[in-house]
Amino acid sequence: MYLQRIIVLLAFACITIRTTYAQCCSAGNPVASDVNFTITAKKVLKTELNYRYSESGSHYKNDSKLDINFMGKAYSNYSELAVAYGVFNRLEIRGDLGYFLNKTETYNFNNIPDSKGYGMGDLSIQSRYLIYKNFVRKWELSAGIGMKMPIGVFDQEYENVKLPINVQPSSGSYKYFVNAFFLKKLNDKFGCYTFSAIEIASKIDSKNFIYKYGNLYLLSIGCNHKASNKFNAGMQLRNEFREKSSRENDAIVDASGGYILYCLPSVSYNLFNSFYLSSILSFPVYGYYNDIQRSNKFSLNFKLTKSFNLCKNE
Amino acid sequence: METKSIIVTFLFIIALLSLSNCKKDKDEQKDLLVTEVKGLSIDSIISSRSSVKAWTDTANITVYASGDNLTISWEADHGSLAGEGKNILYFAGQCCVGLNTITCTVANDTAQVQDTIKINVTPYSR
């Protein structure tokens, strides 16, 4: 039983959802969310510390690569603190808060200086509920609902010039999401899962800026293997479909949205007790971008997870 | 326990919806542009181009303002700005195709004035 718990924890520790945008006009911290799907046990506090490096790739017109010399590299260094607490045996509340160490865009034209933003991103809070768990057949189904709040920096300036939206740390938009997770353990060492999510963004209607990000639909399938008592490896395929964004007067932004298939290999290591270190690489294997957009090249994520049992002495 | 979980989840949803309605009132009030107050004014904003091609062209924008101890700020609703002070550079990507607004704010110790200029961004082509 204990071994099974470990496997499930490790498996889920390796599963991540990142709502990744293509780079052009990617607002703020779309990558803020790092969701762990385990329903935290009652009175257990789970903490996670994330670090992620992301880098942009080439420009694409639909699924064909384009050489656009104007733009240089775009990259970001991002950290995130997540806390989840088991309110009841089947219910957890979770919060994620991110901070961009930098979010940088470079240019290869006319000696234009780099645009660099930094600061607090969005705050994500959600509630997740374990709908059903079958101990005999070893499967479970859970669902979550939550929102992202743009509490971070969205109007950052440099020398009194407002930075472009691409490098603003916060998305500036309230986003609402629902998700569902299904796990089937085939044996003590091997498990498969699916994860699906929908994220709906509200319109940003500020003084000088009107914009609505396209809604996101996500479906992941993955598997996880416990190679040893301390080591765990996983693989996930994630399919993201994003609708087109819109701007003032509900004009559609043609160069937004699309379909991207990501591959996410992951490893996890139990350092000691309930202390885990995991790493996830994410890269697109296929993308269809509406009009012309910059793709994401890869992101590399490191995560430390530690759980605290707050009812140990009861 | 089941009932408690459902109630907590329900309350959680209500709390989320309430939070999202707490937008600042100022967002709903579009300020009218004031280009001149006593001792401070924006005379004109000039751009080297009225139209730029995405990921290809740049536009030099200059503000002509009157007053003492001026602080000049810039903001674009879509696209990017580089530089500082009276002269800045505007450029944009494919996602910014359309008519975009660049807002210039000139301020001194006592007041501030604003004016805008529109620049059309056309699609990228080789």
pLDDT in tens, A183-218: 999 998 999 999 999 999 999 988 778 999 999 999
Secondary structure element (H or E) that encloses residue A301, with its range = strand A275-309
Cβ distance of A115 and B80 shorter than 8 Å: yes
Q: Which amino acid is at A84?
A: A
pLDDT above 50 (res A3): no
Concatenating the DSSP letter of every residue in A248-275 gives GGG-EESSS-EEEEEEEEEEEEEEETTE
Single out the residue of A168, A97, A169, A154 nearest to residue A126, CA to CA.
Answer: A97
Q: How far is CA A268 from the centre of its chain?
A: 18
Give chain B positions within 8 Å (CB) of A290.
Answer: none
Residues of chain A found within 8 Å of residue B75, distances taken between Cβ atoms? 161-162, 208
Q: Mean pLDDT score of chain A, rounded to an integer?
A: 87
B14 burial type by CB count under 10 A (0-12 exposed, 13-18 middle, 19+ buried): exposed
pTM summary value: 0.85
CB B121 within 8 A of CB B79: yes
User: Is B20 part of the contact surface with chain A (CB cutoff 8 Å)?
Assistant: yes
- The residues, ordered by sequence, that sit 6+ positions from B115 with a Cβ below 8 Å of its Cβ are B33, B35, B42, B45, B63, B103, B104
Which of A70, A147, A161 is the closest to B81 by Cβ? A161
The residue behind tokens 């803020």 is A32
Residue in B with minimal Cα distance to A173: B20
CB distance A293–B95 less than 8 Å? yes
Tell me how many residue pairs between chain A and chain B have CB atoms under 8 A apart. 126
* Chain A residue with minimum CA distance to B53: A70
pLDDT digits (tens, 9 = 90+) for B65-114: 999 999 999 999 999 999 999 999 999 999 999 999 999 999 998 899 99
Name which residue leads in pLDDT, B12 or A192: A192
Question: In Å, how far is B5's CA from the nearest CA of chain A?
Answer: 6
**Does B22 contact A at CB distance below 8 Å?**
no
Q: Residue A20 in 3-state DSSP? A: coil
Out of A24, A89, A149, closest to residue B95 by CB? A24
Whether residue B4 and residue A88 make contact (CB cut-off 8 A), yes or no, is yes
pLDDT digits (tens, 9 = 90+) for A252-267: 999 999 999 999 999 9
Provide the chain B residues 57-116 that lie in CB contact (below 8 A) with chain A: 58, 71-85, 88-89, 91, 93-98, 101, 103
The answer, yes or no, to whether residue A33 has pLDDT greater than 50, is: no
Strand intervals (E) in chain B: 36-37, 40-47, 51-53, 59-66, 71-76, 80-84, 87-91, 98-107, 112-122
Q: Over the Cα atoms of chain B, what is R_g?
A: 22
Give the angle A222-A259-A204 at the CA atoms, nearest 5°: 110
